[in-house]
Amino acid sequence: MMEWPACTDEYEKLVIRMSTPRVVIDNAVCSTATIVKVDSARKHGILIDAVQVLSDLNLSIKKAYISSDGRWFMDVFHVTDQNGNKLTDESVLSYIEQSLGSIHNGKTSHSNGLTILELTGTDRVGLLSEVFAVLAEQQCDVVDAKVWTHNGRIASLIYVKDSNSETPIEDSQRISTIEARLRNVLKGDNDIRNAKTSVTNAVLHAERRLHQMMYTDRDYQRNPIFKFSSDTPIVTVQNWAERGYSVVNVQCKDRVKLLFDVVCNLTEMEYVVFHATIKTTIDQAYLEFYIRHKDGTPISSEPERHRVIQCLQAAVERRAFEGVRLELCTEDRQGLLAEVMRTFRENGLNVTRAEISTIGDMASNVFYVTDAIGYPADPKIVESVRQKVGLSNLKVKELPLVCHEKAEREDQPVGVGGAVLLCLGSLVRRNLYNLGLIKSCS
């Protein structure tokens, strides 16, 4: 039972109870997934906060039913691990319950004693090699980094510390020098206006910040420099005039963090999700959202509708698994990344995504690489790069498969014309489930 400070009056207790999400995790109702239910007072951004908790654990969201009409927010998520199994680890279940129960208290994350570099600009082969070479020259150790590319643009968060003192870089003159050097690298020959660098000691959730950076950079409006083979997500936007909603449907390949990416961008565009239904079959995902602006109005013009379609397609594509996945695990040392990236560049490999981390004295890095124009890298070149970096250090990894139960007849795709009926049917099932009148949302 919650213990209250002696000075807490009854009204304050009521406010705290109303503001604290109620979380229920059930492994008995559904035979194929763990059900996570969240009920809370509604506020803007609470949906992305909830989805972020599940996303950070790399859980697969097989189904979801979302409703936040009026003053209340109610979600049901059907989740599994990446192998398609229900969640049984008590520490994981406890973490989910505690994290979802405190999402109203979300705050800006801090750097944990690191300096954070934010970079955006035009992507090109060898760019990261130049960036990490500058950081090595400036005596900066890269502790963590995330790099995304899309439509010829690049966005990166790089967490660094001083190589000599093992502390954050705080000297303003040195920071200005690092920024200027990196900005010159990002500008190249043709990106004088759009190349941006900044330094901070606090940042939002890293992947949310990357989405913001790409959205601000308008990557969704740009033509890709490299050719990619991914299927373009199908996005439709229609207005349901009788209820004052805009109905957004997204159909694409399913993958981990898909719902996070879409909801993150809807939130960034300042839309409120009132109802949503998410369903998956085999390797496909069908997402449907009933949205309005924060002022309660639906999408009002054709240019705005077109922008929403572009933005959501970009949101899905940014994290697409382009290229060969290479995993580097070796003892960390100063200049390691600069050396590895230089090897990639000298062999004509372009890094489309990177996740860099340091655990103790070990570097644990993931790179997705293609050839210079975006096609799959030649296996012979990849093998040559591995020999130069170290066969035992740099390994080719297959992408993890998203596991789903076999497609059932009721899970077949529904056309746009049936969107309203699909959502209403889902909402009815979900509400009956919440009332305890049925045992499953499926």
Q: What is the mean pLDDT of each run of 10 residues along the chain (442 residues)?
A: 53 58 94 95 87 96 90 93 95 95 63 87 93 95 95 94 88 93 86 79 87 94 60 93 95 95 96 96 95 94 97 94 91 93 96 93 95 90 96 83 44 41 44 44 46
- Check whether residue 82 and residue 175 sit in a common domain: no
Within a domain: residue 338?
yes
- Residues whose CB falls within 8 Å of the CB of residue 428, separated by 6 or more in sequence, listed in order: none
Q: Which amino acid is at 212?
A: Q
Task: List the structure tokens of 399.
Answer: 């992408």
- Check whether residue 310 and residue 336 sit in a common domain: no
- Check whether residue 421 and residue 287 sit in a common domain: yes
DSSP-derived 3-state class of residue 256: coil
Q: Which amino acid is at 230?
A: S
Q: Which amino acid is at 7?
A: C
- Check whether residue 425 and residue 298 sit in a common domain: yes
Prediction pTM value: 0.84
- Check whether residue 56 and residue 172 sit in a common domain: no
Q: Supply the pLDDT for residue 379.
A: 94
Q: Supply the pLDDT for residue 68.
A: 85
- Check whether residue 123 and residue 205 sit in a common domain: yes
Q: Supply the pLDDT for residue 44.
A: 80
Distances 331 to 241, 278, 392 between C-alpha atoms, Å: 60, 42, 12
In 3D space, the residue among 290, 295, 297 whose CA is nearest the CA of residue 246 turns out to be 290
Within a domain: residue 8?
no
Q: Supply the pLDDT for residue 436.
A: 43
Within a domain: residue 11?
no
Within a domain: residue 12?
no
The CB density around residue 39, as the number of other CB atoms within 10 Å, is 14
The CB density around residue 307, as the number of other CB atoms within 10 Å, is 17
- How many domains is the chain partitioned into structurally? 2
CB 247 within 8 A of CB 276: no
- Residues whose CB falls within 8 Å of the CB of residue 192, separated by 6 or more in sequence, listed in order: none
Can you give the residue range of the structural domain that contains 62? 20-107+231-319+412-434
